[in-house]
Amino acid sequence: MVGMTGFSAWSRVSRLFQRKTDLPEPPPEGQALHLQVASPEFLRDCLGEEGYDRMLRRIWERALSLSPKAELLTAQGALLCPIPTKDSHEARHMAKHLLARVQQPLTIAGITLTPDLVVDLMDRPSPEHPTLMSQCDIEVWFQPQIDCDCGAVTGFEALPRFRHPEQGYLLPGVFLPQLNGAERARLSLEVLRQAGAALRQWDAGGWGIDTVSVNFSEQELVDPNLPDLTLWEMDRLDLHPSRLVVEVLETVAPPATEPPTAQDEAIAANLRRLAAAGCRIDLDDFGTGFSSLGAIRHFAPQRLKIDRRFITDCDKDIRQQHMILAILSLADHLGLTTLAEGVETADEQAFLTQIGCHQLQGYAIARPMPFAQTIPFLQERRKLLDGLPQLFRRTG
């Protein structure tokens, strides 16, 4: 059985590499492009088992002309094309050519079709030492963000969860530090894919969700390929870049007293490129860095996510209230939107709404949930809002 739609492609790819017997030859060193048929079940239905196998072979033959060591992993409906380089620029170039070569019309059993393939760039994990990432399933969970004025869900933050076959769900704090740079980048790509797929499904259901947010680490943010990979993925999902919010931790900004390093400049340049394409930038954990003002200047975000340390007990604690008011006033003067994170109680929610915070996220609204649960959640929420008189505090 294969079930490979664009959803969760990466977790399946990871599993693929656990089964040593699937690999016909010991894999050579370096990187490989992994091509996977986007909707194998549909194609199997159309072509039948035999026709589907013939289609895979034809795709493979086409790939061989560009990548002579290409392997066909028939059972998974996937191709592995080793490439003799570690240079990711050349790899992306190669990926484009490979896709152009294989995504040409094919006629099988009288049916002409153009196969849709998903391509991944991967390091080859050594089969003797399976990494933690290769053992875990990666699920993306979603936490809603609501608008304080009307209560509607405006977006979701995509948060990865890691399911180990024996140990159950692993905490991000346990899992993330064990990933190497390449794995971290692949994880983000997987989060982006699942987040994009979710957004398309909310769109199809008419839920009016504006954005989905993803978190990029400092390591990923310096990668000069990040904007291309991100925008390429959004394009492939047929989503405008403005539907994506990139969350950057405030602590990633350089201290205001020191000149920015080459790495700081690289991060700022990547964010400028993403923003120029339409992506939105959130400053995450706002208020916890060395220089909150410096971070605003350095990253030019559109929204501040006020750290939960300021939010806890804000309905009762006057010092918290002064801090939040100061942040709201700052945001107002700079034309930035504010989102309070870690809102855990109805009283905190009421206070934040009254003082004019724009959006909220936290356990008081909902905990992060698997995609399947977002639909009943949105239905419940719509029922709740339909039952309330609409009160608009602001006009803009």
Under rule CB under 6 A, residue 215 binds ligand G: yes
341 forms part of the interface with ligand G (CB under 6 A): yes
Interface with ligand G, residue 42, by CB under 6 A: no
Do β-strands 303-306 and 280-286 pair in parallel, antiparallel, or remain unpaired? parallel
Contact flags string 288-307 toward ligand G, x per CB under 6 A: -----------------x--
Q: Does 158 bind ligand G (CB under 6 A)?
A: no
Short-list 296, 284, 306, CA closest to 356: 306
Q: How far is the CB of 339 from ligand G (least distance, A)?
A: 9
Per-residue binder mask for Mn ion (CB under 5 A), 282-311, x = binder: --x---------------------------
First to last CA, the chain: 52
**Conformational region of residue 342, where left means phi above 0, alpha means psi within -120 to 50, and beta covers everything else:** left
Can you tell me which of 247, 264, 307, 348 binds Mn ion, judged by CB under 5 A? 247
- Judged by CB under 6 A, the residue of 227, 241, 294, 368 near ligand G is 368
CB-based burial label for 69 (10 Å; 0-12, 13-18, 19+): middle
Question: In the set 36, 76, 143, 211, which binds ligand G (CB under 6 A)?
Answer: 143
CA–CA distance, 33 with 27 (Å, rounded to integer): 12
Q: Which of Mn ion, ligand G, none sits in contact with 294, Cβ below 5 to 8 A by type? A: none
The nearest distance, CB 98 to ligand G, in angstroms, is 35
The answer to whether 266 and 222 are in contact (CB under 8 A) is: yes
Q: 185-224: which residues touch Mn ion (CB under 5 A)?
A: 215
Taking the CB of residue 204, how many other CB atoms lie within 10 A of it?
8
With CB under 5 to 8 Å by kind, the binding choice for 349 among Mn ion, ligand G, none is none
Contact 53, 82 (CB under 8 A): no
Continuous segment of H or E residues that includes residue 311: helix 308-311
Instruction: Decide: is 362 part of the binding site for ligand G (CB under 6 A).
Output: yes
Tokens of 191: 């989060």
Among 221, 331, 342, 374, binds ligand G (CB under 6 A): 342
Q: Which of 270, 285, 352, 378 binds ligand G (CB under 6 A)?
A: 285
Task: Tell me the residue length of the chain.
Answer: 396
Report what 341 binds from ligand G, Mn ion, none; CB cut-off 5-8 Å by kind: ligand G
Residue 120 in the binding site for Mn ion (CB under 5 A): no
Binding-site ranges for ligand G (CB under 6 A): 143, 157, 159, 215, 284-285, 305, 308, 341-344, 362-363, 368
